[in-house]
């Protein structure tokens, strides 16, 4: 469930400074509780600039400027237990597909990526 950050601009700046100074990075985790038909991934412990970068990636996928990206190699992402996530532009919305243990790809069409853009208003979920 998304939480809105309500601490005000000064609190946001203080939170971002503390997080960057301690080198906390966005975490990407594969959750084994899912099933092969519906793998579960968790993306957490991120900052506003990281959310904006995710939105930029989704924008590029939605316009076809980008065809694929290894998210686990981007944005100072820390893959928990070797989790890998590839974001791909597809001809249809296949969603999350597990292709190996700890490795998934999210295959979405241009229109699908445009509809699924990440909202900076729901940042700082932990």
Q: What is the DSSP string of 86-97?
A: EEEE-SS--EEE
C-alpha torsion sign, points 87, 92, 95, 101 = negative
Is pLDDT of 124 > 50? no
pLDDT given at position 23: 60
pTM to 2 decimals?
0.71
Percent of the chain with pLDDT over 70: 71
pLDDT given at position 91: 95
Element (H, E) at 108: strand 103-108
- The model's pLDDT over 27-67, given as tens digits with 9 standing for 90+, comes to 999 998 878 778 889 989 988 888 888 889 999 999 999 99
Is pLDDT of 82 > 60? yes
pLDDT given at position 75: 61
Is pLDDT of 72 > 50? yes
pLDDT given at position 24: 57
Can you tell me the mean pLDDT for 83-104? Answer: 93
CB 40 within 8 A of CB 31: yes
Can you tell me the mean pLDDT for 103-112? Answer: 92
């Amino acid at each position: 469930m998304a939480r809105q950050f309500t601490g005000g601009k000064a609190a946001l700046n203080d939170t971002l400074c503390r997080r960057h100074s301690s080198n906390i990075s966005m975490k990407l985790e594969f959750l084994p509780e899912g099933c092969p038909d519906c793998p579960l991934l968790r993306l957490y412990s991120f900052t506003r600039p990281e959310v904006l970068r995710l939105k930029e990636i989704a924008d590029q996928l939605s316009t076809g400027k980008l065809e694929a990206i290894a998210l686990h190699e981007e944005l100072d992402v820390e893959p928990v237990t070797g989790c890998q996530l590839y974001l791909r532009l597809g001809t249809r919305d296949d969603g999350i597909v597990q292709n190996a243990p700890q490795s998934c790809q999210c295959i979405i069409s241009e229109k699908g990526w445009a509809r699924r853009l990440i909202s900076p208003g729901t940042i700082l979920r932990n």
